[in-house]
Amino acid sequence: MHADRHPPPACPTQEPRRPRRQKQPHSGARPKARKSSPFCGPIRAFSFGGGWQSTAALVLAAQGELDYRTFLFANVGDDSEHPATLRYIRDHAAPYAAAHGIELRQLSRTRRDGTTETLYGRLMREGSRSIPIPVRMSNGVPGTRSCTADFKIRVIGRWLKAHGAGPANPATIGIGISVDEIHRANNRRSEPYEHIVYPLLDLGIRRTDCPRIIRSADLPVPPKSACWFCPFHRLTAWQDMRHDQPDLFTRACHLEHTINTRRAALGKDPVYLTRYNAPLADVTPDIDPLPFDETDGTCDSGWCFT
Ligand code: SF4
């Protein structure tokens, strides 16, 4: 058998591939830029939302229970993600991933000119008419949203495609949905460049298992992850915010007021951040929060309740 004079090095799934030499152009014309993948095989990555399930998955990957070495966090904006989530990722999740040879990569939405666009920035943009978040209509029903698709799904999709994922070479994307949330699995159709899987379901992990898994790595349990202004928050979450982070609560009230001032100028009905058809400050109890935890109102899987 003919032996390769220069056999390729062993190539684990996510090791970068050496760039191949490009052919010399025939004339003096400049060679065309070629789209190539730095990965040697199909990409395997986990969608990281920064909450319980994602962090448990990170620990399981570090412990060899899950086969993922790349975690992708679509950051909708440093001014939009809950500050406690960003602090947790900076102080705990990122150092832990690095210490275990796992890449925890933050991605953000970029405009054509290369600048970063944040969700809060889009909401507050002067003269903006679009409301990308699921504000509540007068009957309490959430309006159409584009935030998840624009700031998470497409952001991760763009990165996957830039790294070689495509219909012929789809990336495997792990989503951190636990057994108690099984109804959320398969709610979003896969794009042609990806194959979505649910590794926590395969392991039979429930949301309530996550704190134990996270603590087993000597990590603190992360806070719930979602944008601080998300209209999917339960009333108790707003109550917590009013009590514990009054400045953030005031900003949320200001955002709601700004949206409605614009809508009034266009002759449109008001919309709200809660389902109670009244301003946030009027419906959120200004008393001590109740001593129990809500399990929803989070965006942990990185796909926002889809
Ligand atoms: S947490 Fe809420 S506001 Fe933020 S991206 Fe997800 S659905 Fe949209």
φ/ψ region of 209 (left if φ > 0, alpha if ψ in -120 to 50, else beta) reads alpha
Is 226 close to ligand 1, i.e. is its CB under 6 Å away? yes
The residue written with tokens 């990308």 in the block is 132
Return the ligand 1 atom nearest residue 304 CA: 6
- 139: tokens are 């009957």
Cα-to-centroid distance, 61 and ligand 1 (Å): 26
User: Is the CB–ligand 1 distance for residue 155 below 6 Å?
Assistant: no
**Mean pLDDT of all residues in the chain?**
85
Average pLDDT over residues 56-81: 98
Question: What is the Cα–Cα distance from 208 to 53, expressed in whole angstroms?
Answer: 9
44-47 vs 194-197, strand pairing mode: unpaired
Q: What is the pLDDT of residues 153-176, one digit of tens each?
A: 999 999 999 999 999 999 999 999
Single pTM value for the model: 0.83
Extract the tokens encoding 186: 């398969």
Q: Which of 252, 260, 258 is nearest to 280 (CA)?
A: 252
Q: State the residue for tokens 């109740």.
A: 290
pLDDT by residue (tens digit) across 277-303?
A: 999 999 998 876 655 444 444 555 555
According to the model, what pLDDT value does residue 302 have? 58
Mutate to test the pocket of ligand 1, among 47, 148, 155, 224 (most ligand atoms within 8 A of CB): 148
Can you tell me the distance from the alpha carbon of 133 to that of 145, in angstroms, rounded to the nearest whole number? 5
Give the pLDDT band of residue 78 (cuts 50, 70, 90).
very high
Q: How far is the CA of 285 from the centre of ligand 1 (A)?
A: 23
The string of pLDDT tens digits covering residues 35-56 is 444 556 789 999 999 999 999 9
Nearest CA, atom 2, ligand 1: 230
CB-based contact 47:69 (threshold 8 Å):
no
| pLDDT tens digits, 90-135 | 999 999 999 999 999 999 999 999 999 999 999 999 888 889 999 9
Q: Classify 19 as helix, strand or coil.
A: coil
Both structure tokens of 208? 């309530």
Compute the distance between CA of residue 166 and CA of residue 108 in angstroms, rounded to an integer: 20
> What does the pLDDT read at residue 38?
52
* Backbone phi, psi, residue 74, to 5°: -80, 100
- CA–CA separation, 79 and 288 (whole Å): 26
Q: Ligand 1: which of 73, 75, 76 to mutate, most ligand atoms within 8 Å of CB?
A: 76
From residue 160, alpha-carbon distances to 23, 90, 196, 204, 275 in Å are: 26, 23, 13, 28, 36
Q: What is the Cα Rg of the chain in Å?
A: 22
Rounded CA gap, 40 and 18, in Å?
Answer: 9
pLDDT tens sequence across 171-204: 999 999 999 999 888 777 788 999 999 999 999 9
Beta bridge partners of 72: 47, 105
Q: What is the mean pLDDT of residues 49-74?
A: 97
On whether the CB atoms of residues 178 and 206 are closer than 8 A, the answer is yes
Ligand 1 close to Cβ of residue 76 (< 6 A): yes
What the chain holds in terms of domains, given with CATH numbers, is 44-227 (3.40.50.620)
Of 78, 119, 227, the residue with max ligand 1 atoms within 8 A of its CB, to mutate for a pocket test, comes to 227
